[in-house]
Structure 1
Amino acid sequence: MTPGSLPTLEDLGDVEGRRVLLRADFNVPIRDGVVVDDFRIRAALPTIEWLTERGARVTACSHLGRPKGKPDPTYSIEPVRRVLAELAPGVELLENLRFDPGEEANDPTFVAKLVEGQDLYVNDAFGASHRAHASIVGPPRLLPSAAGRLLQREVDVLLPLRTDPEHPFVCILGGAKVSDKLAVIGALLRVADSLIIGGGMCFTFLKARGHTIGDSLVEEDMVDTCRELLEREGDKLHLPTDITALGPGGEIGNPDAGGEVRQVGADVPDGWKGLDIGPGSAAEFADVIQAARTVFWNGPMGVFEDPRFEAGTKAIASAMADAPGFTVVGGGDSAAALDQFGLAAAIDHVSTGGGASLELLELGDLPGLEALRGAPNA
């Protein structure tokens, strides 16, 4: 293992007969007690199979939802356990880690309980590795540890975007709030050739540029910050030139409530809400994506859950799927949109962690990665 790199499964040595605690990310959607999307469970199988084929005895653990530190049947891990038993027979799965307040508090007592009877630790939960929680940062202090195949792949794909992407490098950011993504915007602008801004956060930028935004989402306290960014990095930033807006009386997700849907320019009329980029912007953004050698996308362009406002996000997803460059989608709602439009298979890498992928791009490290590098065998 080279200095500063993550310990790998091979660094664990002979695992036959060893008891391995596997931190996975099985935070999957469950409806009526049934897992409705097993992508994250299947994503852990390469690591599980590597361990079990070499004779290791694997105990997996994961969080599920936000049960607030106490048992809650709504967030029982049992539906996940049933799926895992079919996909990886013989692998034990502990109850929801967040049923114990010690998980989110990184309580050493809870860590000791987790590692009791275990010989080795593997972290394959990229989507949780930006959290300094007990199951992420505790075991590597006590056990020989390694990154699982999924975690290693995420790092191998995402870190080079921050340090040495192929150019032109295009980033697409959406979502609701500028404040949530300001730090990663700054980090990406240091390396990206173009940064496309969509979603609810675009209206704070549009207001900073002097446009009217009607009743669209805006962060008033971020307008000056956006104005400074536009003055400093205006040649790199691409904002929508047209908007799909909902008129007075309309409701998101309820077409029957009335309210006209109309394409407007970059100025949204009073009483109207901008809820998606318009077709002109979608075409302009697609052209930028097509010319890129590397593309990173995180955050939808509009409220794609409502069919009236899905076109912008669908256009970006299609442009990503058709792009000749290397394409990366940073998890979260963007990954959900790809699934909705049936385009996930056309993307080179779909991250399992929205927040984790952004934090890794922003900071170049995560608490979970740092912990692995400090393990006794690292």
Structure 2
Amino acid sequence: MAKFNTIDDMDIDGKIVLTRVDINVPVENGQVTDTTRIDKIVPTIKDIQAKGGIPVLLAHFDRPKGKRVEGMSLKQVVPALEAALEQPVVFAEDCIGGPAKRAVAALEAGQVALLENTRFHEGEEANDPVFAASLAALGGVYINDAFSASHRAHASTEGLAKLLHAAAGRLMEAELLALDAALGDPQRPVMAVVGGAKVSSKLDLLMNLIEKVDHLVIGGGMANTFLVAQGTEVGKSLAERDMAETAVAIMEKAKATGCNIHLPVDIVVAREFKAGAASETLPVGECPADAMILDAGPDTVEALRQAMTACKTLIWNGPLGAFEIEPFDAATNAAAQAAAELTRQGHLVSVAGGGDTVSALNKAGASDDFTFISTAGGAFLEWMEGKELPGVSALEAAKH
């Protein structure tokens, strides 16, 4: 049984359904340049309408810090929202008070409304109970479809769930089910791939994963820090030498918990960090003093592919090398394609997330075959770190 209500559990016929969404999309010159987040909320809105509910969308945009900033108005996303929904969208100039009440009161079955940026009010980020009550007064049911904003205890993500009958939207539901399949109750063995520049920024993540997974692959600049900790020279490579003791502690904890840590066995090095720079592949211990490690080598990828083949579940966060520039995207591309192939064959449940990860998997042409790719960024990372997400906890509490 799910730990939270879904749209299927709710009686919403004829009711105003306050629906928290994440449409914090990139906008240039008043035009939305990437509609991914808007496209992902369409199933929730359509399902609410199919059950007779009238969706009233709550969302934030950018960081106006509790003040009205015209350049951060949600009005500019209305055309993209209308295109995705293939219907007009009523826009209210505020999310509480007269403008919101009048817009909502005039809605009829089949319509949808978007209220102005919740962060134009200080009460949103402060999770102010008076502000939350003002929002709640507008509707009869609350649906949270914004996993990506649910690591914040804000009025529209956490406060509202305590005031109205609450449920998860389709995107939230899919995200939570995918995450549970990856770390909550996964099929074993489980592999986690963690890449990125710095160990210091992913310390909580590594410490949590060591207790949950059977294989931990460390890539990117982080791997260099672990190599330094093992006494391997890395030349001019990016490495946090002051984190060497921490890396040793992580490796010792992994040994104690039976988690296998995978580090590069061969490396791709170059003297300059630019596209098409002259590079060579060397054994891991042979990085020249004047060179830097910019990617893992083919032997490392093959070892990963073999380890992956023996696994049932994969969680991926971060690239294995400097994936933004060729030829240092090779290891990330090859490993991602191997994971995609195993997923396509039904051997692997693969879940990925975090900013660079989505870009890297898209670049590798592997995204479509992963079981689930989270676009949630910070919320996905905090979940991987084992932290409580207030917006999700509020939904789970509403179930009981």
In the other structure, the counterpart of 1:138 is 159
String of CA shifts for 1:52-109, please: whole Å, max 9, x gaps.
1122121112233344444445544334321111222232222333343433332334
**For residues 29 and 287 of structure 1, what CA distance do their matches in structure 2 show?**
39
Matched, 1:318 2:337: yes
Give the fraction of aligned pairs with identical amino acids, expressed as a percent: 40
**Is residue 126–residue 352 contact of structure 1 (8 Å, CA) maintained in 2?**
no
Q: Which amino acid aligns with 1:81?
A: V
Deviates more, 1:303-312 or 1:261-270: 261-270
In the other structure, the counterpart of 2:392 is 369
Q: 1:103 to 1:261 in 2, by over 3 A?
A: farther
String of CA shifts for 1:173-230, please: whole Å, max 9, x gaps.
1122222322222222223221111022111111111112233222334211111222
In the other structure, the counterpart of 2:367 is 344
**For residues 272 and 32 of structure 1, what CA distance do their matches in structure 2 show?**
42
**For residues 73 and 271 of structure 1, what CA distance do their matches in structure 2 show?**
51
Q: How many residues align?
A: 368
1:1-378 correspondence runs (5 A)? 5-13=3-11, 15-72=12-69, 74-88=71-85, 89=87, 90-234=111-255, 236-247=260-271, 250-252=272-274, 260-267=278-285, 268-323=287-342, 324-363=347-386, 365-375=388-398, 378=400
Q: 1:68 to 1:317 in 2, by over 3 A?
A: farther
How far is 1:51 from its partner?
0.6
Give the number of the structure whose alpha-carbon radius of gyration is greater. Answer: 2
Q: 1:29 to 1:282 in 2, by over 3 A?
A: farther
**Is residue 159–residue 360 contact of structure 1 (8 Å, CA) maintained in 2?**
no
How far is 1:364 from its partner?
6.6
Task: Provide the secondary structure at the position in 2 that maps to 1:182.
Answer: helix
String of CA shifts for 1:283-302, please: whole Å, max 9, x gaps.
22222222221111111112
Structure 2: 5+ residue stretches without partners: 88-110
**Is residue 84–residue 91 contact of structure 1 (8 Å, CA) maintained in 2?**
no
Task: Provide the secondary structure at the position in 2 that maps to 1:183.
Answer: helix
Task: Give the CA RMSD over aligned residues.
Answer: 2.5
**Is residue 298–residue 354 contact of structure 1 (8 Å, CA) maintained in 2?**
no
**Is residue 182–residue 314 contact of structure 2 (8 Å, CA) maintained in 1?**
no
**Is residue 162–residue 364 contact of structure 1 (8 Å, CA) maintained in 2?**
no
Structure 1: 5+ residue stretches without partners: none
How far is 1:137 from its partner?
0.8
**For residues 303 and 70 of structure 1, what CA distance do their matches in structure 2 show?**
39
Task: Provide the secondary structure at the position in 2 that maps to 1:374.
Answer: helix
Scaled by the length of structure 1, the TM-score of the pair is 0.88
